[in-house]
């Protein structure tokens, strides 16, 4: 039996990269300040990383699949260049109106990632800048981080802070 791993599930837009609202051009990827340092710190404390992202731009035909795949390939390469392995990208290509089980706030992407990557959900975190990220993490049984700034908190999260680097330090301190 494989041992279960502690994992940080990360939203993409507004958490790792600047939210361009329907990013369709991989050349427009811009990383948020401190993201590489934050993930290296968490890596050094034994976490693996899985990105879980709603991508309604696919359903709306504002984002092309090949561009989404290329964006994720480039992000994976850039994080690797900074010493961080992003284990996998999961995305929900469904419309905002959809209640599909993998679209956040539903926990489907996290649960799928947990099965695919031997994740111990109780020792894992969901980090995002939307309240739907927090809800998905809670429904999956993870601890949660809400990165404030875009939306106001709509309930309780384990950590509420403005930056991923601050979040990483608080996550480590809470263990």
Query: Are 168 and 38 contacting, i.e. CB atoms less than 8 angstroms apart?
Result: yes
**pLDDT one-digit tens code per residue, 8-66:** 999 999 999 999 999 999 999 999 999 999 999 999 999 999 999 999 999 999 999 99
d(CA 44, CA 41): 5
Domain 7-173 homologous superfamily, CATH? HAD superfamily/HAD-like (3.40.50.1000)
User: Span 111-139, mean pLDDT?
Assistant: 97
**pLDDT one-digit tens code per residue, 68-116:** 999 999 999 999 999 999 999 999 999 999 999 999 999 999 999 999 9
Nearest to 124 by CA among 72, 54, 50: 50
Domain limits, the chain: 7-173
Strand-by-strand arrangement of the 143-147 sheet:
86-92, 48-54, 7-10, 125-128, 143-147, 159-161
Q: Are strands 125-128 and 143-147 parallel, antiparallel or unpaired?
A: parallel
pLDDT of residue 150: 73
Is the pTM higher than 0.85? The answer reads yes
Strands (E) in 2-158, as ranges, are 7-10, 48-54, 86-92, 125-128, 143-147
Active-site pick, 13, 129, 133, 158: 13
Is 85 part of the annotated catalytic residue set? no
Is 166 part of the annotated catalytic residue set? no
pLDDT of residue 121: 97
């Amino acid at each position: 039996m494989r041992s279960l791993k502690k994992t940080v599930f990360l939203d993409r837009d507004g958490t790792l990269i600047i939210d361009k609202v329907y990013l369709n051009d991989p050349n427009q990827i811009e990383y948020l300040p401190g993201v590489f340092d934050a993930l290296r710190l968490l890596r050094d404390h034994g976490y693996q990383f899985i990105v879980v992202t709603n991508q309604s731009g696919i359903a709306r035909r504002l984002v092309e699949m090949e561009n989404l795949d290329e964006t994720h390939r480039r992000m994976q390469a850039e994080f690797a260049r900074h010493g961080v392995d992003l284990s996998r990208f999961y995305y929900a290509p469904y419309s905002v109106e959809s209640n599909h089980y993998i679209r956040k706030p539903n926990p489907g992407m996290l649960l799928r990632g947990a099965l695919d990557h031997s994740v111990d959900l109780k020792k894992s975190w969901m980090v995002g800048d939307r309240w739907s990220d927090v809800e998905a993490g809670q429904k999956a049984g993870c601890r949660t981080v809400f990165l404030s700034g875009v939306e106001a908190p709509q309930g309780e999260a384990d950590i509420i802070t403005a930056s991923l680097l601050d979040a990483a330090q608080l996550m480590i301190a809470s263990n």
